[in-house]
């Protein structure tokens, strides 16, 4: 019974980690798209940077 529970716990941990990593990939992709849009649509009179930091 204990080995079965350990295997089930391992499967749950790996599935949760896979879901979290997939979410992080989507967040990274969204940030990249926003950065590219900001880079293309920057104000014409500025010194080149559209962000303040």
d(CA 21, CA 27): 10
What pLDDT, on the 0 to 100 scale, is given for residue 50? 57
What pLDDT, on the 0 to 100 scale, is given for residue 34? 86
What pLDDT, on the 0 to 100 scale, is given for residue 14? 82
Burial state string for 8-34 with b = 16 or more CB within 10 A and e = fewer than 16? eeeeeeeeeeeeeeeeeeeeeeeeeee
What pLDDT, on the 0 to 100 scale, is given for residue 51? 58
Tens digit of each residue's pLDDT (9 = 90 or more) over 1-53: 778 888 888 888 888 888 888 888 888 989 888 888 877 776 666 555 555 55
What pLDDT, on the 0 to 100 scale, is given for residue 44? 63
């Amino acid at each position: 019974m204990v080995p079965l529970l350990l295997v089930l716990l391992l499967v749950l941990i790996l599935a949760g980690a896979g879901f979290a990593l997939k979410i992080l990939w989507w967040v990274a992709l969204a940030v990249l798209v926003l950065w590219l849009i900001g880079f293309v649509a920057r104000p014409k009179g500025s010194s080149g940077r559209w962000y303040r930091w």
